[in-house]
Amino acid sequence: MAAELQRLGAISDRHASARENIIVRLIEVLLGLWGDFSSARDDVEALAIAAKSATLVSSATASMRLQSRSYLGSVFAAIDQRLTLPKAAAPYPRSGASALEVYQRPGRQFIWELSRGESVEDARAAAADRLRAIAENDVLLADRHEVHRVFEDNAKTVIGYRRVIHPELSRDGTCGLCLVASQRFYTMEDLLPLHDRCNCTVMPIVKGDDPGFRLNEDDLKSIYATAGSTAAEDLVNTRITINEHGELGPVLVKQGDRFRTAAEAGRPVYVKPTPASLRSANRKARDEAQSQLDEVAAELSPLRDETSREAAARRATLTQASKNLRAYIDSLDAAFRALQ
């Protein structure tokens, strides 16, 4: 039993590390793409970067889903359970928003910060923080969705699941939200509640065995002992609640913290992902991207024969935006075919 638990712990740790690596690589590429965010001053340049960002995110979240499937394959083998996998698919994991729209937000953050009198340096920092948070959440959402898809396909075996903490990946130690939530049993109807900088993975609960509980037990004892009496009491007494974010779904917050509802944020309510809802979201995202592409083409057309330096520069910007939008549309088409 101890050997099995040690093996499961190692499998879970590898998965958490692999996910963190995907997040870090994606953020590095996206920050390099946006640079100093000066491109946000031009709508077409910002659109071109957002379209390229959306395509890169599509690739990263697809890689995350493959990693999630591999992780669960190893877990099921370790607990001697047969695993079936759903058809591979890689839809954008947010509800009610397309990747193209979401990845225009960092540029808009930069412009908004400048409009309220912030320095260029502070505006860049705020935009970069927004970009990091968006990208991280997208990878976490892809992991959550894929794990849940696999659990649903193995409902005869999996009766629930538990979040597994990873203090080794926490810069400031595992937060109280995760510590409290790790002691909860999640049913198959529940999506894992997320929060910023969450390092938790999940472990299936099968009849007669809850390996996640046993994995957390040793970490919890160590954390409470290291924290000392006062800090440990604060962790133990942390009270959490689950709210619903319009795009992210269930999220963990400390009880009493202010949380904007989807209506207050001016966003649609969260829709739990199903094949039908994902196909609908994909079609909507494609229509939006095609509309943007048509607008770029309309502006580009009269510039094709212009010879001035200004026209050549604008033509190059529009051509890049067109190229990036077409690549993004291709990624949407590939995702849609996988959902059939």
Whether the predicted pLDDT of 240 surpasses 80: no
Residue 191's pLDDT is what?
84
Question: Across all residues in the chain, what is the average pLDDT?
Answer: 88
Q: Each residue of 23-52: pLDDT tens digit?
A: 999 999 999 999 999 999 999 999 999 999
**Least confident residue range of 78-87, 146-155, 262-271:** 262-271
pTM of the model: 0.91
Specify the number of domains making up the chain.
1
Q: Each residue of 241-258: pLDDT tens digit?
A: 778 888 988 887 777 666
Whether the predicted pLDDT of 239 surpasses 70: no
Q: In terms of residue numbers, what domain contains 167? A: 2-338
Q: Each residue of 165-211: pLDDT tens digit?
A: 877 666 555 566 777 777 788 888 888 888 777 888 999 999 888 88
Q: Each residue of 108-142: pLDDT tens digit?
A: 999 999 999 999 999 999 999 999 999 999 999 99
Q: Each residue of 298-309: pLDDT tens digit?
A: 999 999 888 899
Whether the predicted pLDDT of 265 surpasses 80: no
Q: Where are the alpha helices (DSSP H) in the chain?
A: 2-34, 43-78, 99-102, 105-115, 120-153, 176-181, 211-236, 275-300, 309-338
- The sign of the dihedral angle between the CA atoms of 276, 280, 93, 96 is negative
**Other C-beta atoms within 10 Å of 34: how many?**
24
Q: Which residues pair with 160 in a beta bridge?
A: 205
Residue 32's pLDDT is what?
98
Q: Helix, strand or coil for residue 15?
A: helix
Residue 15's pLDDT is what?
96
**Least confident residue range of 122-131, 306-315, 321-330:** 306-315
Q: Each residue of 216-230: pLDDT tens digit?
A: 776 666 555 544 544
Q: Each residue of 77-92: pLDDT tens digit?
A: 999 999 999 999 999 9
Q: Do 214 and 222 meet the contact criterion of CB atoms below 8 Å apart?
A: no
Length of the chain: 340
Q: How far apart are the first and last CA of the chain?
A: 42
Whether the predicted pLDDT of 94 surpasses 80: yes
